[in-house]
Every structure is written in C-alpha cells, then in structure tokens.
Amino acid sequence: MGEFDNTVVVITGAAGNLGRAVAQAFAVRGTHLALLDLNAEGIEKTIEDCQGQASAQGFACNLVDRLSVEGAIEEVLQRFGRVDVLANIAGGFTMGPLIQDTEDRDWDFMMNLNARSVLNTCRPVIPAMLENEGGGRIINVSARAAIQGKGRMGPYCASKAAVLTLTESMAAENRMDNINVNCILPGTIDTPQNRQAMPEAEFNHWVPPAALADVVVFLASDAARCVTGAAIPVYGQS
C-alpha cells in the first residue's frame, strides 16, 4: 500500500498543462482523482492520460461561479465521500495596460481567474475536510510575481498576491484542525503557449510542469505534515 492509495484529490484547471501534469503525478500514486475545469473535452483528455493508473472522474464547472463550484464539489462528495487534497491549479496570465489605463474588466478577469477561483473551491472544501477526521491538504498556485510587482502586470501581480495572502489566512485559521494550506510560486512555466509567446527565450531555464507537480505532491504528502502557510519558490533557472 502506498501513501496516497485511495486518497481523494480534487484538481482544478485539470484540462491545462500544469493541471494535467499534476493529475498524472497523483495518478501513478493510486489516488482517486476529481478533475474540475470548464473545458469538458480537456478533462476527458486528462482522464485518458491517467487511464489505468487511477480512478478519475471529470466535473465540468465554471470556477469563477460560486454556485457552479459548490455543485461540482457536492458531486465529488457524493461520488467519493470526502476530499483529502485540493490542488488549486486553475489560473492564467495576461499582460495589461498601465495601471491608470486599466479597465474594470482587466482587473476583474485576473482577480476572478486567479483569486476568486481559489476562494470558490476552498469555501465548500474546507467544511468537508473539517468533517473528515483525517483533515486535509490544500495547495494553491500563486506566482513569483506575487512578491514583486512588474510593469503592465498590475492585475496579474495583485491577483497572485491575493492567492498568497489567502493561503496564509486559511493556514492560520485551520492549523489546529490538521488542514495544511500552502502555495507554490512558479517562475516561467515551460508550456507550448509560453514558448510561442517568447520564442527567443531559453526554454531550458524554465520550470517543467512535471517539476511543479512534484512539489504539489510533496506538499500533499506526510513528509510536509509540519508545513503550512508556506509559499514555496519554484523558479527554475530563469
């Protein structure tokens, strides 16, 4: 029996590059996977990639819609009975205009995609974990940009800083209930989209999704049982 055998892991953004890598990393460890994403077709691709390695089921939902997320988590609980690990992988990045030229829609898009999605999943999952005597682990994805603002990236930096602060607050609130909450701070992730956007960059200095997935698995493991409220930098060589 492995450490993660029969562990129920909820992964948001499961149709994306990092979400798929995290799903695969948990799949080979014998987990039950609940895969959340708006892209139902992408979820199915992730399930195919995990075939035969884990019990995986997709739950299509809009992560910025509270009721949609609550409905998906309710389905997860009906299907698996509990949530042991929540990996909030969903998120995204866009360059923006100068702060003084930033429209409400620019601000709302980044805050919803990166911060509200975390809030929406944690609100129903934490009560479920509190009912589970084994507690739980929550891993969020912030970014290096959360701790150093950059020009034309104000909404993105602020949204990722919100993720970091939410992580610290939830860790403080739940530390006595065996619920550990941590986040990772990736540098530039080596994805096809980033390569296309920055074709002259040195890709070998970027962070492979599989390397980030390893850190997520570590934070979900018993080896990290005394780690909570941490922001783990994973910058690669960039």
- For the entire predicted model, the pTM comes to 0.97
Kindly state the tokens that stand for 184. Answer: 């990772």
The pLDDT score that the predictor gives to residue 231 is 98
The DSSP annotation for 17-48 comes to HHHHHHHHHHHTTT-EEEEEES-HHHHHHHHH
- What is the set of active-site residues? 156
What does the pLDDT look like over 57-116, one tens digit per residue?
999 999 999 999 999 999 999 999 999 999 999 999 999 999 999 999 999 999 999 999
In angstroms, what CA-CA distances link 75 with 56, 70, 72, 81, 212?
A: 13, 9, 5, 9, 28
Which residues 6+ apart lie within 8 Å of 176 measured at CB? none
| Cβ atoms of 29 and 217 closer than 8 Å | yes
Residues of the chain under the 70 pLDDT cut: 238
Q: How far apart are CA 8 and CA 90, in angstroms?
A: 18
pLDDT at 59: 98
User: Distance between CA atoms of 122 and 127, rounded to whole angstroms?
Assistant: 9
